[in-house]
Amino acid sequence: TDSELRVKENNIKVTEVIALKILSDLKSLSNDAKIMASSISGKKSSSVKKTVFETEKDILFIGTFSKDGSDLSFGNTIYNSVFLDDTGIESSDIDKSIRNNSKFFLKSFQGIMTIQNLSLGFEIPLIGISFPKSVSSDEIIILVVKMEHIQNAFQTSGITETFMVNSEGIVIAHPDPNVVKSGTKFLDLPIVKAMFISPIDNGQTRYKHNDTYYLGSFKKLGITQAGIISTVSEDRAFEE
């Protein structure tokens, strides 16, 4: 029907636009972080810290890490002390969250970028991003960033719900902040399954979930194993 076609076209457009924005944000963050990581290498002067966090206020933490067997070994680290003081978050809380998710971040030693929801246990939603320091380096960089850096892209209006999941199906961004803060896993959602088994980076499908039929589209993020999903229930899509 014409209504179904319009919904499908809109879903595809939404996922494409948001994916482009998120990819741009991730590339910008990683490029800035590589420069910052180089500038703090071997020194931790207050002037460097001030410059770093005046430029990128959404970054709470930057650190270089090496691989120690099946664990992460902390290298040079820098914390956004102003933000930590304002929120009451301790630097040890950041360290603990990184250690708790070390198995996930270790994937970056294979040359990929990973994104993890670190919100659990914090009052504000946070994400961790890891990637190789350089092509030939045996170190990775891990960033901890305020979720709102990308969350704003998912405040969509209308009948469509758009969200982002990582390679394990864990929600990274979602219109409902409670879903984000709880670290909900959507791996069993048919549209998420469809995205992970698809050989191409975008697609759409009709699926049933909790006795309701939905029209969903997905777009994989090329530099990471995450993806953007846009979905709408058929009942809402076709109502007059």
| pLDDT, tens digit (0-9, with 9 covering 90-100), for 66-84 | 998 889 999 999 898 888 8
DSSP state of 64: E
pLDDT of residue 43: 53
Q: Are 11 and 214 in contact (CB under 8 A)?
A: no
Q: Which two tokens stand for residue 20?
A: 């482009």
Q: What is the pLDDT of residues 112-161, one digit of tens each?
A: 999 999 998 898 899 999 999 988 789 999 999 988 878 878 876 678 88
Would you put residue 111 in left (φ > 0), alpha (ψ -120 to 50) or beta? left
Q: Are 61 and 76 in contact (CB under 8 A)?
A: no
Q: Average pLDDT, stretch 40-65?
A: 72
Long-range contacts (CB closer than 8 Å, 24 or more residues apart) made by 204-213? 204/8, 204/11, 204/12, 206/234
